[in-house]
Amino acid sequence: MKNSALAEIGFLDIEIDPSLDLFAEINRLKKEKNAVILAHYYQEPDIQDIADYIGDSLGLAQNAARTEADVIVFAGVHFMAETAKILNPGKKVLLPDLKAGCSLSDSCPPSLFKTFKEKHPDHLVISYINCSAGIKALSDIICTSSNAQLIVEKLPKDQKIIFAPDKNLGGYINRKSGREMLLWNGACMVHEIFSLEKITKLKARHPYAKVIAHPECEEAILGLADFIGSTTQLLDYTQKDDSVAYIVATESGILHKMRSYAPNKTFIAAPPDNACACNDCPHMKRNTLEKVYLCLKYEEPEILMEENLRLAAKIPIDRMLDMSRKLGLGK
């Protein structure tokens, strides 16, 4: 069944028997179909708890590249599942909710980016993995938040670079490396919402708490941070560091693992600049345990991709995986 047809008949609204033990059913289906569930740290706790692997974007791409499962259920957003499909053309890659997109990826449409790139033919294109397959196909190297700086620093100092689509991560690397990469004007809706004023007040109320932040945050928030890193790096930091409290400036899903790995520490979600729950990514949170069960049961919605696009998008991803392996990065 085609994905669009599936969405039209309201597949995602299929009623599930409320007495069903979803954890047991998902585990049974996983075995029956030789399926694996890969989940990002921004997924809801139930999904993190049933996943075979939880990680940041680099760890997820590395796991997708090495899995021997026949079916990959990608509990994350569309660009992540797309990356898994690019690396696994022969496997079935499922995304529990096909509408789980990404504001950062959406901020960089391939047709506009192609025109921009053509204006700078002497520039190498490094794209953050949070982009569509179309942007990946226009890129020379892909990076994630955990390897972006090291990948940029591996390139000759005089190499001109376009960095897309995240202006905040690109700006952060420019400041750290002294480069002047040309930045695409994109940003993540979740990481742009943190309030400098509220975090400053929170820090005054909790003087022992360290501020830790994801590099997708704006410069002012990063300026306050005691530690900056990808979701996995933030999680590792909270386990190794000896502070007792942290103000966490990234999507709130990461708090689940932070709290379970360090139950005696206090983790405070950095507040957004209004009263909403805007540090929950609405795209990531489209996936639910029920949708994970349904997609595993019916093997839909599936990620499908045109072969020429897949091959073009795979080249810069393979370069990233190769560089990360040589740099000893990831899991």
How far apart CA 82 and CA 86 sit, in angstroms, is 6
Q: Which of 126, 132, 131 is nearest to 148 (CA)?
A: 126
The answer to whether residues 170 and 181 touch, using CB atoms and an 8 Å cutoff, is yes
Cβ 101 vs Cβ 78: under 8 Å: yes
Q: Are 11 and 97 in contact (CB under 8 A)?
A: no
On the question of a cis peptide bond just before residue 271, with omega within 30 degrees of 0, the verdict is no
- 252 scored as a contact of ligand SF4 (CB under 6 A): no
Listed in sequence order, the residues at least 6 apart from 55 whose beta carbon sits closer than 8 Å to its beta carbon are: 38, 40, 41, 63, 231, 232, 331
230 binding ligand 13P? (CB under 6 A): yes
> Which parts of 57-96 interact with ligand 13P (CB under 6 A)?
57
Choose the binding region for ligand SF4 from 184-192, 225-233, 260-268, 305-313 (rule: CB under 6 A). 184-192
Instruction: Choose from ligand 13P, ligand SF4, none: what does 174 bind? Cβ within 5-8 Å by kind.
Output: none
What letter would DSSP give residue 72?
E
Q: Which of 48, 127, 139, 144 binds ligand 13P (CB under 6 A)?
A: 144
Strands (E), the chain: 35-40, 53-55, 71-75, 92-94, 124-128, 141-143, 161-164, 182-183, 209-213, 227-228, 245-249, 266-269
Residues in 255-284 that interact with ligand SF4 by CB under 6 A: 281, 283-284
Alpha-carbon span 120 to 62, nearest angstrom: 31
- Count of residues that interact with ligand SF4, criterion CB under 6 A: 13
Quick one: which segment of 66-74, 155-163, 187-195, 266-274 binds ligand SF4 (CB under 6 A)?
A: 187-195
How near is the Cβ of 272 to ligand 13P at its closest, in Å?
Answer: 15
Q: Which is nearer to ligand 13P, 83 or 146 (CB)?
A: 146
Of the pair 165, 330, the CB lying nearest ligand SF4 is at 165
CB of 231 to ligand 13P, least distance (A): 4
Instruction: By CB under 6 A, name the binding residues for ligand 13P.
Output: 56-57, 130, 144-146, 188, 216, 230-231
Which stretches of the chain bind ligand SF4, using CB under 6 A?
A: 42, 77, 102-104, 130, 188-190, 251, 281, 283-284
